[in-house]
Amino acid sequence: MSSSDIIMLMIGVCVVLIIYLLFSNPLKMLVRVALGGAAGVVGMLAMNTFLAPLGVFVGINPVTVLLVGILGLPGFAMLYIASFIFK
């Protein structure tokens, strides 16, 4: 390998490292919100099934899924408490 090949390899490694560092945190956050939203949908389906006889129901739509995905369990609880209060 010549010195120019080594320099090009080092530049390539630095570019890949910079791209990884720039996109790793947003990607982790996006995956976390998506997994939380999916778990929230499963939880909302289960809670809607059990609480339907009491008249407590939370609609599953993009807003509620995003809310549960971002806030997690506190957002899930908030939806059902608000639904119970305002039924």
Percent of the chain residues topping a pLDDT of 90: 45
Q: Report the pLDDT value the prediction gives residue 68, as an integer from 0 to 100.
A: 93
Q: Report the pLDDT value the prediction gives residue 44, as an integer from 0 to 100.
A: 94
* Residues 83, 56 contacting (CB under 8 angstroms): yes
Residue 73 pLDDT class (50, 70, 90 cuts):
very high
The mean pLDDT value for 9-31 works out to: 81
Q: Which residues contact 76 (CB under 8 A, 6 or more apart)?
A: 40, 43, 44, 68
pTM over 0.75: no
Cα torsion 16, 17, 21, 26: sign: positive
Q: CA geometry: angle at 68 spanning 65 and 73, to 5°?
A: 150
Q: Report the pLDDT value the prediction gives residue 14, as an integer from 0 to 100.
A: 81
Could you tell me which of 29, 45, 32 has the C-alpha nearest to residue 79? 45
CA distances from 80 to 56, 62, 65 (A): 7, 16, 13
